[in-house]
């Protein structure tokens, strides 16, 4: 499978596979965010999900895929630091504000910076029509955040903190998207990066949790174990998918398409969290979707 995947790089077939992977990642990323918010507090949810996907990934990283070359370990270390910072900022943002307010801001602040970063690092360039699509998508996402902000009725005194943390998280999203794409392209076998990423990335939060709680495991164990499994396999398909998409095709396009996760998050917020959806929000969601389509077709 590795040889087949690598053979698709830079081809039309690879572009199609990258498109499918990015849209899959968008949907599953929204599912992942809703899972963290629905069952328990974001810190505990992140801990059990990380512990689960690290445990599952460990034997694949150690015994199945080739190990990273010695000269690349520093790159993996930088990946680890960036993602720990992202998860801390994201969990803090979810703790401070409503999911439908925080999530669109996080996702809306990342695409433009990622596109610019991809231009600087990978020499990618967007056509004028694609920039129109980016503007529509980002405008729709931030418009959705403003709409949600105007209608939220709880924790309004914490909104400045929640929004600040959401913007910070969005900036870190742009950094990790660009750096992860750089490292997975530098790794001969892409599944080496994916396996080692999930193994190493999943260690930090469980360690912090155990230290903070003096070795006590999260409770109730059974329900959180189910959350961990659901979250782990969602993360594999979502984040693993976007990593492969950035190797097969343009990083900027994959990053923009991933932000259609806001469309799915609005639906999940309504279905899973009981958060209302009205005609104005539906209009903004359609604007986001139209922007993504223009980005994909305008290149």
Q: What is the pLDDT along the chain (299 residues), one digit of tens a residue?
A: 778 877 888 788 888 888 888 888 888 877 766 665 555 677 788 889 999 999 999 999 999 999 999 999 999 999 999 999 998 898 888 788 777 677 777 777 777 777 777 777 788 777 888 888 888 888 887 787 777 677 665 566 777 788 888 889 988 988 998 999 999 999 999 999 999 999 999 999 899 888 888 778 777 777 788 888 988 998 899 889 999 998 988 887 887 787 777 777 767 666 665 666 667 777 877 787 787 778 777 76
Chain-centre distance of CA 193, in angstroms? Answer: 16
**What is the token pair recorded at 158?**
């914490």
pLDDT in the model for residue 34: 65
pLDDT in the model for residue 63: 96
Choose among 185, 157, 170: nearest CA to 251. Answer: 185
Q: Where are the domains of the chain?
A: 2-297
Determine the angle formed by the axes of helices 159-186 and 99-122, rounding to 10 degrees: 40
pLDDT in the model for residue 68: 94
pLDDT in the model for residue 75: 96
| Euclidean distance between CA atoms 62 and 53, whole angstroms | 14
User: CB burial class (10 A; 0-12, 13-18, 19+) of residue 30?
Assistant: buried
pLDDT in the model for residue 79: 96
């Amino acid at each position: 499978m590795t040889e087949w995947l690598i053979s698709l790089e830079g081809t039309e077939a690879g572009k199609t596979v990258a498109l499918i992977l990015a849209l899959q990642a968008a949907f599953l990323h929204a599912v992942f965010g809703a899972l963290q918010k629905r069952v328990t507090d974001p810190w505990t949810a992140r801990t059990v999900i990380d512990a689960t996907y690290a445990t599952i990934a460990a034997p694949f990283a150690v015994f199945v895929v080739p190990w990273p070359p010695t000269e690349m370990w520093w790159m993996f270390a930088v990946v680890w630091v960036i993602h720990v910072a992202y998860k801390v900022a994201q969990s803090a943002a979810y703790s401070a504000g409503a999911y439908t307010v925080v999530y669109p801001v996080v996702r809306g602040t990342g695409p433009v910076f990622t596109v610019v970063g991809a231009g600087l690092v990978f020499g990618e360039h967007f056509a004028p029509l694609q920039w129109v699509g980016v503007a529509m998508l980002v405008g729709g996402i931030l418009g959705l955040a403003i709409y949600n902000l105007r209608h939220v009725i709880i924790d309004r005194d914490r909104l400045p903190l929640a929004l600040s943390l959401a913007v910070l998280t969005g900036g870190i999203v742009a950094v990790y998207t660009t750096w992860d794409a750089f490292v997975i392209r530098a790794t001969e076998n892409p599944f080496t990066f994916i396996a080692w990423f999930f193994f190493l990335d999943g260690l930090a939060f469980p360690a912090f949790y155990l230290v903070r709680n003096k070795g006590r495991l999260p409770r109730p164990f059974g329900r959180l174990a189910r959350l961990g499994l659901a979250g782990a396999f969602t993360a594999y398909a979502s984040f693993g998918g976007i990593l492969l998409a950035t190797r097969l095709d343009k990083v900027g396009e994959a990053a923009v398409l991933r932000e259609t996760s806001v469309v799915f998050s609005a639906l999940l917020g309504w279905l899973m969290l009981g958060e209302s959806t009205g005609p104005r929000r539906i209009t903004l969601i359609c604007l986001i979707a139209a922007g993504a389509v223009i980005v994909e077709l305008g290149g």
